[in-house]
Amino acid sequence: MKRESKRTGVFTRRALLIAGGQLGALGFLGAKLYQAQVVEGARYATLAATNRISARLIAPPRGRLLDRFATPVGGNRLNWRALLVAEQTENVGSTLDNLARIVALPDHERARIERDLRRHRRFIPITVREFLSWEDMARIEVNAPDLPGILVDVGTTREYPFGATLAHIVGYVAPPNDADVADDPMMSLPGIRVGRAGVEKFHDVGLRGRAGAVQLEVNAMGRVIRELDRQEGTPGQDITLTIDSGLQSSVLARLGDESASAVVMDCRNGEVLAMATNPSFDPSVFNAGVSQAQWVEWTSNRRAPLINKAVAGLYAPGSTYKMVVAMAALEAKAISPYDRVSCPGFLDYGDRRYHCWSKYGHGSLDLRGGLKNSCDVFFYEVAKRTGIDKIALMANRFGLGVKLDIELPGARAGLVPNRAWRLGQGKAWNIGDTIVHGIGQGFLQLTPLAMATMVARIATGRAVQPHLTRAIGGVLQPGSLATDWPSMNLPEREMHLIRDGMYAVVNEQGGTAPLARLSMPGVTMAGKTGSVQVRNVSREQREHGYKSENLPWEFRPHAMFVAYAPYDNPRYAVSLVVEHGNAGAQAAAPIARDIMMNVLTRDPANRVEPRGMTVADRR
């Protein structure tokens, strides 16, 4: 009995110990459950949802580029593309080899695909080929059993309906690089493009829009199970340009095969109506990727098709600069409108002879006659009396050698030199430099856009600023509404004298540009010719019957012409540069005349709809 009682006591103590341990464990577990479910329940619920739900961005449609009449000049179209999900194939290399037998996969594309595979997890689709044709798509679908992991998807791509006609203005887009992706995660989305040139680059942020989002239910490995919610992105803003695409096409057609650039501006508000550069290029090529052969062809072309010559081409202005020299002289009181200069065909200064374009000379001329005949000797003397610093300051007031706020990356201010600039080069300015700058030669470097701005300011007497953006998101911009640009504060009597000289150039007997005369009843144009030497001509060459037209193309002078019309109510300004065209009066003036007549006929600044097109047509 004693032994039995002792065993029962031991059992009871053990049971109590076990029960106590179990109660303690249950209490600890209960406390932990309370902590997890009550105290930190909200936090764990959030973590659980995050683990179950994956939020991903959706690429927004890129905004459109429109001309002033809402004609699309840069838009989007459907883009069929092949994507690869690496986890769905056992052998990525074999899949890509099979795909390469159906659609071309160049070595550089294979290298890019392998780079993307290393950067992304295996369940994330990566782009293998874009811009698939309908036939390519069909072949991929038929061969789907041999292409595990390959799927066909549809997105959008950039298209440019006017191609090379507007390439230098609209620019182009290209896939984002590593720096772009690091700055904005939206840039890693398939089909996203970044503006690399022209208006596409300048307005890139506004054109991109804002990404949408989709919530996907995923498993623990991150694989998509189903879509839970979708919010479409905000499309990029439409950008309306000041350009008239019909006028642009006609201007480019008139340039023909010439290596040239032309700018047409509205004198009153600074809207650029046409900005043509020839030769040009197809901007859509950059969207798909430029081949090495194409790049070599472009960069080896001596006529430089990739350069927007209107804003980045730099030229000495030649005789088109004489109006600036004249205004500087009048303001400085270096000459009066009635002062006369005798031109025997040359000016001797020191041990150097400076020639006039007419070897027989022009005789005695006043300022109006100097402009009408474009007499070099007259302006040699005027520049010598005025001084380079005063000429440079006047040039700046006319928009030359200063930054113009045009919405194109890469636009250049050019160069209007003065004494300080020359000293900065470690050299002294001399009177011979001033003399040659009197006829727009020397160190001067200006763009066609700057020269068009100069003419618009001469015509109106106001500090007009050129611009290309007419509206953003449908909202008209202040520049296109402005017709009251600040006055240049130059005496109207003197401005009229300059305009009158330009009138005589085109419309009077003996003027240098009779070929620029308009054949429109009651409408006249004022203008100025320019022929710009690109190499020195020695006295010996002149004495032996030198003729620039006999030189190789690249050694001939540039031909220039600037003008505005109508003369009595200025509305349109034109500047034109024909590279190595030889003589402005013969090569540039007739082209500028035809451009101006086309502009006056179309009259884009005073029309709401493009000529011959209705609202229904645009749709």
Residue 229, H or E segment: strand 224-231
Query: Active site includes 319?
Result: yes
Beta strands (DSSP E) in 424-525 are 469-472, 475-476
Hey, what long-range contacts does 345-349 have (CB within 8 A, 24 or more apart)? 345/377, 346/377, 347/377, 347/380, 347/381, 347/435, 349/380, 349/384, 349/431, 349/432, 349/435
Question: Which single residue is written with the structure tokens 């290393």?
Answer: 118
Cβ(371)–Cβ(502) under 8 Å?
yes
CA distances from 240 to 70, 170, 171, 255 (A): 7, 11, 14, 25
Cβ(174)–Cβ(194) under 8 Å?
yes
Catalytic annotation, pick one of 245, 280, 284, 319: 319
Q: Could you give the CA distance from residue 286 to residue 276 in angstroms, rounded to a whole number?
A: 20
406 HSE (CA, 13 A, CB side): 33
Strand partners for 354: 347
Cβ(425)–Cβ(445) under 8 Å?
no
Q: Could you give the CA distance from residue 506 to residue 512 in angstroms, rounded to a whole number?
A: 7
Q: Could you give the CA distance from residue 106 to residue 112 in angstroms, rounded to a whole number?
A: 10
Q: Could you give the CA distance from residue 480 to residue 287 in angstroms, rounded to a whole number?
A: 31
Cβ(295)–Cβ(289) under 8 Å?
no
Catalytic residue set: 319
